[in-house]
Amino acid sequence: MPSITPFLWFNGQAEQAAKFYVSVFKGKKSKILTNSDMMVTFEILGQEIMALNGDPKFKFNPSFSLFVSCETQKEVDRFWNALSKGGKKGKCGWLQDKYGISWQIVPSALGELMSGKDEAGTGRVFKAMLKMNKIEIKKLEQAYAGK
């Protein structure tokens, strides 16, 4: 069966980036699989990713991002803080890491609240999210409740 593997072109930093991502997403489903002068294949949370040691010809941009669904605020905080260090913090859970990769760090609660039956509540959640950089679950829940 075919599979889809993200393939990332780094400016000579593929190994450094792979080691960084594996350290951020610690666990038995995050590891370096292969490593050579030109290519690194690694896995984070079970997702295989290939990285090339290219040259500065191509740059990353936010039109491609990696989406991380988090169950708790502690997870949101940990991934947001680790991945944004040395990078750029954006709005609505988006950030760009020190290698230029864009990430969306999003609590699963956002999707649940946005699909709630209270349309006014979902509207308040959306407006609250637009004011946030790192998404905060408690503030979303308060917005849904009208507090």
Per-residue confidence (pLDDT) for residue 34, from 0 to 100: 94
3-state secondary structure of 43: strand
For the cut 90, the answer to whether the pLDDT of residue 31 exceeds it is yes
Query: Residues 127, 143: contact at Cβ < 8 Å?
Result: yes
Angle between helix 73-84 and helix 14-24 axes, rounded to 10 deg: 160
Q: What is the mean pLDDT of residues 46-69?
A: 94
Q: How far apart are CA 7 and CA 130, in angstroms?
A: 30
Per-residue confidence (pLDDT) for residue 22, from 0 to 100: 97
Query: Residues 78, 34: contact at Cβ < 8 Å?
Result: no
For residue 38, name the pLDDT band (cuts at 50, 70, 90): very high
For the cut 90, the answer to whether the pLDDT of residue 4 exceeds it is yes
Number of Cβ within a 10 Å radius of residue 106: 19
Q: How far apart are CA 79 and CA 55, in angstroms?
A: 28
For residue 1, name the pLDDT band (cuts at 50, 70, 90): confident
According to the CATH classification, is domain 1-56 in 3.10.180.10?
Answer: yes
From edge to edge, which strands make up the β-sheet containing 65-70? 65-70, 102-107, 94-96, 88-89
For the cut 90, the answer to whether the pLDDT of residue 28 exceeds it is no
Domain ranges of the chain: 1-56, 60-147
pTM of the model: 0.93
Query: Residues 15, 53: contact at Cβ < 8 Å?
Result: yes
Over residues 92-145, the pLDDT tens digits come to: 999 999 999 999 999 999 999 999 899 999 999 999 999 999 999 999 999 999
According to the CATH classification, is domain 60-147 in 3.10.180.10?
Answer: yes
